[in-house]
Amino acid sequence: MASSREWFESVAEAHRRARRRLPVSVYKALLAGTEKGLTLRDNVAAFDELGLVPRLVGFPGGGFELSTRVMGQEVSLPVLISPTGVQAVHPEGELAVARAAAARGTAMGLSSFASKPVEEVLAANPKTFFQTYWVGGRERMLRIVERAQEAGAAGMILTLDWSFSHSRDWGSPAIPDRIDLKTMLRFAPEVALRPGWLLRYARSLPELTVPNMAPGPGPKEAAPTFFGAYAEWMGSPSPGWDDVAWLRERWGGPFMLKGVMRVDEALRAVEEVGVTAISVSNHGGNNLDGVPASVRALPAIAEAVGDRTEVLLDGGIRRGSDVVKAVALGARAVMIGRAYLWGLAAGGQAGVENVLDVLRGGIESTLRGLGKGSIHRVGREDLIVPEGFERRLGVEDGG
């Protein structure tokens, strides 16, 4: 629980605190985005176009029903932690996030570019899905799968939407390979402006390594550096649908494909791969700039796959009403990225818990305003969806 001095009332305030506390390069790494930032902005702005239809009478009282099941896991609210690398913004990184998610009864995706080993994160939150990209070929992927299996990961997330665009009109941060004293000196002018961050960090002086990308299954094998692993991934050809189906079969358990924006690909994921879940996502606008907001692609995908798979919405969630809007358009739950990263930077585990509490509170007050007591009862009739809002990608009449 955040102390009353540390507590914040909105994700926007967590964002402001993160910005104040972090060195500029670290802040920019979290802000991310690509090229002109069109997709980054549209992910958030699209939610503002969706109106809500209030109802005075109807709330049944007696608390709110927010819990649901995702990838076989019971979650106490329809908000999950999306996988993100670079959580070395806080010394406890993914462990703080895992503990916060567990404390608030929800599941998390752990990035293969995470700074903490999957075994430790699972001990902190057994509802952890391991996320990987397609790296190397089948042999290499097999070793990644085996390690996650041995650790007991509750599911696998395969993320395929990455285009290696490295230019941002607002400038990219320099990310050091390891945060040692030499680097501290190089970054001294920036870091000197954020002494609080330095003090917290100086206790552990971490290296920027990615332990879950170690070549073998054992946790003791040498972890590659973030950039070493990134180069390997960059040099890898993308998989075919047969490779994705193969990976799904080797994994065996709950399996999510993340980054789906097209109806035709959603259908292939369901019919050819048999995925448990798809995450309608454009990587939080960090990928191909100009792709529409993920929430615009959600209705057509949800309608096409029906109840054959679980559909999650990922991208642009900053408040509880955004969660309700996504569910009303067909999502079972949402996944959040920056919202919890701001919380982590602002207050560690307590900051992430605070963000989840802010979202829960916002979902509940939105439900009350809609005259409903359960997230399972919201639907399109609760929204004003302006003409031209949706994007039906990968269908013949699409656009």
Ligand X SMILES: Cc1cc2nc3c(=O)[nH]c(=O)nc-3n(C[C@H](O)[C@H](O)[C@H](O)COP(=O)(O)O)c2cc1C
Residue 365 has which token pair? Answer: 């007050």
- CA torsion through residues 364, 367, 373, 375, sign: negative
* Residue number, 84 or 321, with CB nearest to ligand X: 84
**# residues contacting ligand X (CB under 6 A):** 25
Please, which of residues 151-190 interact with ligand X by CB under 6 A? 159
Catalytically active residues are: 283
**Dist CA 371 CA 55 (whole Å):** 5
Please, which of residues 31-70 interact with ligand X by CB under 6 A? 32, 43
23 interacts with ligand X by CB under 6 A: no
128 interacts with ligand X by CB under 6 A: no
Q: For residue 192, report the phi and psi dihedrals to the nearest 5 degrees.
A: -60, -25
Q: Among the candidate windows 184-192, 219-227, 334-342, 366-374, which touches ligand X by CB under 6 A?
A: 334-342
Q: Among the candidate windows 8-16, 82-90, 263-271, 370-378, which touches ligand X by CB under 6 A?
A: 82-90
351 interacts with ligand X by CB under 6 A: no
* Residue number, 342 or 370, with CB nearest to ligand X: 342
**Dist CA 43 CA 178 (whole Å):** 32
Q: Among the candidate windows 11-19, 67-75, 269-277, 330-338, which touches ligand X by CB under 6 A?
A: 330-338
Percent helix, strand and coil across the chain, each rounded to 5?
45, 15, 40
- The answer to whether the beta carbons of residues 115 and 88 sit under 8 Å apart is yes
State the nearest-atom distance from the C-beta of 40 to ligand X, in Å.
8
391 interacts with ligand X by CB under 6 A: no
Is 256 in a helix, a strand, or coil? strand
Per CB under 6 A, the list member of 34, 68, 286, 349 interacting with ligand X is 286
394 interacts with ligand X by CB under 6 A: no
- The answer to whether the beta carbons of residues 163 and 135 sit under 8 Å apart is no
Per CB under 6 A, the list member of 338, 360, 391, 392 interacting with ligand X is 338
Q: How many helices (H) and strands (E) does the chain have?
A: 15, 12
- The answer to whether the beta carbons of residues 9 and 358 sit under 8 Å apart is yes
**173: which residues sit within 8 A by CB, 6+ positions away?**
24, 25, 26, 27, 28, 29
83 interacts with ligand X by CB under 6 A: yes
Residue at 234: amino acid letter:
M
Binding mask 209-248 for ligand X (x = CB under 6 A): ----------------------------------------
Residues in the site for ligand X, rule: CB under 6 A? Answer: 30, 32, 43, 82-86, 111, 113, 131, 159, 258, 281, 283-284, 286, 314-317, 336-339
